[in-house]
Amino acid sequence: MADTNGHDGKPASAGTPAAGGNGASGSGNGGNGGSKLQAVIAGAKATQTRAIEELKETVKAPEKTDVWKSVLRVKHDETPRSRALGVLSNVFLHLHPAKINRDAVAYNYTWGMGGMTFYVYITLVFTGTLLMFYYHPSKIVAFRDILYLESDVPFGKLLRNMHRWGAHLMVIMVELHMFRVFLTGSYKKPREFNWVVGVLLLVLTLLLSFTGYLLPDDQLGFWAVTVGTNMARATPLLGHAGPFGPQLGMTPFNDVRFGLLGGSIVDANALLRAYIWHCVAIPIIASAFMVVHFWRVRKDGGISGPAPVMLESEIKDVKKI
């Protein structure tokens, strides 16, 4: 394609007054301007050619670019050392061990329940955050917000049901996970501490379910929380109807039940307290314990597991040697 001045498609040849800037100053100046323009165009062409070449090289070998090297600081050739380094030097990949026992992560051993519990928890945090955009923890509007969400908000019913069913699913999954940990004896040395962390996570999961129950402010939640918190009356030492409670000065107006409800009946204060426990305090505490739980799985030597077995194909390989 012929060189142009970029405006009217005409060649930007030397001597064109327009290229010289001052058309009245004569052909000397115009020629000078033209050659300058040509030099600029030649420079731009060279830059374009270099850019195309660099782009081709980037597509061919992205690992050689500065951007790649700034993100992943090790070479990625197919050697066990480089693969291990790749994992160890990356904060996200480092959360997992560089090598694991294949049999220990088999679904028929773990049932995948711990991991799935965690993914359901993440879904609950996500849907719960969206629900918070539509919900006010106030006796006057809480139930109305739920009706609005169910009938007027686009996908509101889906959102609410994802959260509610997810909560049921999490309780079932956490119990199945605990059952498998028990069946495989994974509570024994050196995993006793992580079992205890797990028990706390189970309690926190149940508390999340219980506090969430009151939030719609419907009859179901109201009576469930009335019955549940009535049990707190009988807490030893801290409940006014529990062993040694009265002797320690507990009354319906200063005992643990009063503290939970923010009053002596299930009312506006109870709703606000349930909301804060459910949406802020318990998720923060549970998330912190989950971090410790996962970290300990790794530090306790990875997931416990059956003794490693060899695949038939591997046995043949060994025989060949």
Would you give the binding string for ligand HEM spanning residues 161-190, x where CB under 6 A is met? -------------x--xx--x--x-xx---
**Three-state DSSP class for 110?**
helix
Nearer to ligand HEM, 246 or 301 (CB): 301
Given a contact cutoff of 8 angstroms between Cβ atoms, the answer to whether 134 and 149 are in contact is yes
- In the set 44, 98, 172, 199, which binds ligand HEM (CB under 6 A)? 199
110 binds ligand HEM (CB under 6 A): yes
Give the count of residues interacting with ligand HEM (CB under 6 A).
27
Would you give the binding string for ligand HEM spanning residues 118-157, x where CB under 6 A is met? x--x------------------------------------
- Cα 275 from Cα 215, distance rounded (Å): 7
Report the chain's C-alpha Rg in angstroms: 34
| b/e map 41-53, b = 16+ CB within 10 Å | eeeeeeeeeeeee
- Cα 251 from Cα 241, distance rounded (Å): 8
Q: Quote the tokens at residue 73.
A: 């600081």
Q: Whole-number minimum distance, CB 118 to ligand HEM, in Å?
A: 4
Q: Output the CA–CA distances (angstroms, integers) from residue 19 to 1, 8, 39, 69, in the order listed.
A: 19, 13, 13, 44
Nearer to ligand HEM, 142 or 303 (CB): 303
**Binding piece for ligand HEM, criterion CB under 6 A, among 113-121, 158-166, 217-225, 248-256:** 113-121
- Interface contacts to ligand HEM, rule CB under 6 A: 110, 113-115, 117-118, 121, 174, 177-178, 181, 184, 186-187, 191, 194-195, 198-199, 201-202, 205, 290, 293, 297, 303-304
